[in-house]
Structure 1
Amino acid sequence: MAEEAWLANNHVPGVLSGKQPLVASMDGYVTVGGEDEAAEYVEENGKPWQASPGAIAWLVEATRKWKPRRRRSRVDV
């Protein structure tokens, strides 16, 4: 399950951990799999991750060696 989520957007662990900045959509659209989609995810779902001790560190470590899938499409948010 974690690998499927990571393949959908490999920016989420970096944004959750603070190693990657939040990149907001400037035009109301997000790039599927992009940094702006990761920012949307973290803004909507980051609090439970932060409230779970060790969860973000686990995610970062679990995904550290996985290779990203490249696909970019813009969708209305």
Structure 2
Amino acid sequence: MGKFKLRPDEIREMTPEERREKLKELKAELLREMTSKSISGVPDNPGRVKEIKKNIARILTTEREEELRKIRETEKG
């Protein structure tokens, strides 16, 4: 499924809607990977689950950074 690693600059260039959509896709993919692992006992691609989790964390971190930036701007403003 798609590229493995999302770079932080790629994530920052996405619109909030694109990030939410990508997050939804990654969570669905993680669920599929975990399900196939539990059924067969062996994951199709062992490193994929770890990379999906990292990508989810990267997106959530970027969203939080932007949220904090907006808060700081309103406090200064």
* Same-fold call, TM cutoff 0.5: no
Task: Give the number of the structure whose residues are more often helix, by fraction.
Answer: 2
TM-score (norm 2): 0.30
Task: Give the number of the structure whose residues are more often strand, by fraction.
Answer: 1
Which one has a bigger Cα radius of gyration? 2
